Amino acid sequence: MIGRAPIAISPGDRGIVGHCHTPHTVNLQGRLTPLIYNRMVVSMTATFDADTVFAALADATRRDIVLRALNGREGVAELAAHYPMSFAAVQKHVAVLERAGLVTKQRDGRRKVVRTNMEALRLARGLLDQYEALWRGRIDRMTDLITRSKEARA
């Protein structure tokens, strides 16, 4: 995390951390070192951008397009027929989904068939599963604490 406030770091922590404006990483010995990377290489790699994916899925029409594109048979024009909006509006929704990596368009003759990218959906689901496990663990610990507290009073 990059930010201004100091972050408490335990020796077992790994990853990007922040201290003032300079990004740092924790090395294997648990010491802060400046984070150095090649911006060109980073920008060239295909990465899963959770913010872009979940922003794209925040719209009900785009979620419906992702569902309809699962079968991979409809083009943009056929998808547009399902919605009370213009072809251009549906095309823009598809473009947002395509930028997020959730769908791909493949030419099939004169049509551009829209297909759902299942790998992107799996990655999004994996991230949600991680958060669910995190919060379930926290809730379980809170429940244990409350139970022990009630038992101690009794």
**34: pLDDT confidence band, cut at 50, 70 and 90?**
low
Same domain, 139 and 67: yes
Residue ranges making up the domain that contains 19: 1-45
Q: Return the amino acid letter for 74.
A: E
Mean pLDDT (the chain, rounded):
79
Same domain, 88 and 146: yes
What pLDDT score was predicted for residue 57? 96
Q: Give pLDDT tens digits for 10-24.
A: 444 444 434 444 454
Same domain, 133 and 59: yes
Is pTM beyond 0.85 here? no
Section 134-150 average pLDDT: 95
Percent helix, strand, coil in the chain, to 5, is 50, 15, 35
State the total domains in the chain: 2
Section 82-110 average pLDDT: 94
Same domain, 50 and 37: no
Decide: helix, strand or coil at residue 85: coil
Examine the fold and report which residue of 9, 24, 45 is the final residue of a domain before the chain moves on. Answer: 45
Calpha distance 114→111 (Å, rounded): 9
- Name the strand (E) or helix (H) holding 63: helix 60-68
Same domain, 75 and 150: yes
With beta carbons less than 8 A apart as the criterion, state whether 32 and 72 touch.
Answer: no
What pLDDT score was predicted for residue 46? 54
- Residue pointed to by tokens 């949600």: 128
Same domain, 137 and 88: yes
User: Exposure of 93 by Cβ count < 10 A (0-12 exposed, 13-18 middle, 19+ buried)?
Assistant: buried
What pLDDT score was predicted for residue 19? 40
Same domain, 60 and 3: no
Q: Which of 9-13, 28-32, 98-102 has the lowest mean pLDDT?
A: 9-13
With beta carbons less than 8 A apart as the criterion, state whether 57 and 66 touch.
Answer: yes
Same domain, 129 and 153: yes
Distances (CA, A) of 49 to 13, 14, 52, 118, 147: 23, 20, 6, 15, 40
Q: Give pLDDT tens digits for 42-86.
A: 443 456 788 999 999 999 999 999 999 999 899 999 999 999 999
CA torsion sign for 123, 124, 126, 130 is positive
**140: pLDDT confidence band, cut at 50, 70 and 90?**
very high
What pLDDT score was predicted for residue 7? 39
Higher pLDDT, 119 or 29: 119
Same domain, 88 and 138: yes
CATH number of domain containing 147: 1.10.10.10
